[in-house]
Structure 1
């Protein structure tokens, strides 16, 4: 992809670090952000080079969510006709698909959150695998405060992560959820004193993940997400098929040998993917 304008990218071995870099605008999300993020996630998924993706931010806040001027300039929400209202559905489907790519990437996604994680920020981090937060972080379902329903994933994913009654409290009132309370309810994995420590913890976790066989990590992510949305019986059946497709005697031998020899294991990357429409 072309050099993004809304975030910077840094590689550390097989870990890709995406940093939101518009602190002067509180890292708000406008159409360019959505376009660049969607393109990047598609490329990362297809390449298979990254073994983990870390998302962090700059400035006082992780993100203030959707840029409000987007609604008056770039996005037309036409409620005057059935056709216009149907177009709203299609627009939201496109936006939802971008954050769903975080959930369906072949590698785990880790977010390091400081300050406000507001509106669309909650949509985004709720699609991640692991969330670390600094002590000053807070989460806010801001949409209700501006007269609308949160519509890009928060209300669908957050009830899978924290108690339903708490989701309702936050969604109905627009109150802030502090880092300490987010830790207590399980939304974040750990809270750190500073933003710098939070980012370092996220990168360290990503490096640990990157040291495992990528195909086993892929299979584990698949199994966890499937089990979240299906019965135990269905999930066990899916696990049998998944293990049958992902099993590697060579990977198991290498992992055990590396452990005994106290060295890093050597595992092949995920195979690059070529979109069907690009074949031939």
Structure 2
């Protein structure tokens, strides 16, 4: 992977990956380099299978102020003057949406540690994660309506799965800020902490607990939960049967029980490295 300019990535011996947004001077805004680097990092983590949990945190006063305004000034072409240009907007947005969907499809859980403002595109991003911790000063804002557009990279599709629809509509129509305490009460945030450091520490601790479980069982759990969110109970139970039949491991169950009895860390097989067909041979 090329040197990252928007992020800092580390992977510890505990199999926890930590991705840090690292442009505090620009409030960690999102520009084309941000999207490209995030896409590259997530693709690598997905292929490698080494990370068993991913924590995403940030630096500075705000988690992220969303899309960089200069991006709209020329870095991204939004041509509304012809049907061909408008068709290209669809393909551009599909490409951008796919980057955040990588978070949802990543083979390990994704935990966000959020401080200060989580604005616009940043809301799109964190709603694609599994767990959200926030510091007391955090707030969320569907900023797009305040600059004359519709949120288009996942917020309006994922947020109604996480909190009451009427509240989503209120935030999406008004562009109001949602504070950390109310976000927790509504179910968007798992827990609120006094400081940014405490939030990051809690996210890393949660990630370490996840990383201590069998990676394939965590993978299966993530698959099942995501599927159940979008399907009926009957369909989800059927999918669960196929899934459990595919990944069941007596060895993992025996090791988990033995480790609990012996009061030691369990040892589990990592996920297999993924290689595309063109990479074989």
Equivalent-residue separation in structure 2 for 1:113 and 1:236 (angstroms) = 34
Partner of 1:139: helix, strand, or coil? strand
2:229 equivalent in structure 1: 228
Count of residue correspondences: 280
Tell whether 2:7 aligns with 1:7.
Answer: yes
- How many Å apart are 1:73 and its aligned residue? 1.9
Equivalent-residue separation in structure 2 for 1:237 and 1:184 (angstroms) = 33
Q: How big is each residue's C-alpha offset from its partner over 1:127-175, in whole Å with a ceiling of 9 and x where there is no partner?
A: 0000000000000000000000000000000000000000000000000
- How many Å apart are 1:279 and its aligned residue? 2.4
Q: What pairs up with 1:1-280 in 2 under 5 angstroms?
A: 1-13=1-13, 14-280=15-281
Partner of 1:60: helix, strand, or coil? coil
Q: How big is each residue's C-alpha offset from its partner over 1:204-252, in whole Å with a ceiling of 9 and x where there is no partner?
A: 0000000000000000000000000000000000000000001000000
Q: How big is each residue's C-alpha offset from its partner over 1:176-212, in whole Å with a ceiling of 9 and x where there is no partner?
A: 0000000000100000000000000000000000000
Equivalent-residue separation in structure 1 for 2:276 and 2:168 (angstroms) = 37
- How many Å apart are 1:51 and its aligned residue? 0.2
Equivalent-residue separation in structure 2 for 1:272 and 1:66 (angstroms) = 33
Structure 1 residue ranges, 4+ long, deviating more than 6 angstroms after superposition: none
- Structure 1, gaps ≥5 residues long: none
Equivalent-residue separation in structure 1 for 2:211 and 2:280 (angstroms) = 29
Equivalent-residue separation in structure 1 for 2:92 and 2:55 (angstroms) = 27
Equivalent-residue separation in structure 1 for 2:16 and 2:194 (angstroms) = 24
Equivalent-residue separation in structure 1 for 2:88 and 2:228 (angstroms) = 33
- How many Å apart are 1:275 and its aligned residue? 1.4
- How many Å apart are 1:3 and its aligned residue? 1.5
Equivalent-residue separation in structure 1 for 2:10 and 2:43 (angstroms) = 17
What TM-score do you get using the length of structure 1 for normalisation? Answer: 0.99
Question: What is the Cα-based RMSD across aligned positions, in Å?
Answer: 0.5
Partner of 2:29: helix, strand, or coil? coil
Partner of 1:73: helix, strand, or coil? helix
- Structure 2, gaps ≥5 residues long: none
Q: How big is each residue's C-alpha offset from its partner over 1:79-117, in whole Å with a ceiling of 9 and x where there is no partner?
A: 010000000000000000000000000000000000000
Equivalent-residue separation in structure 2 for 1:279 and 1:87 (angstroms) = 34
Partner of 2:269: helix, strand, or coil? coil
What TM-score do you get using the length of structure 2 for normalisation? Answer: 0.99
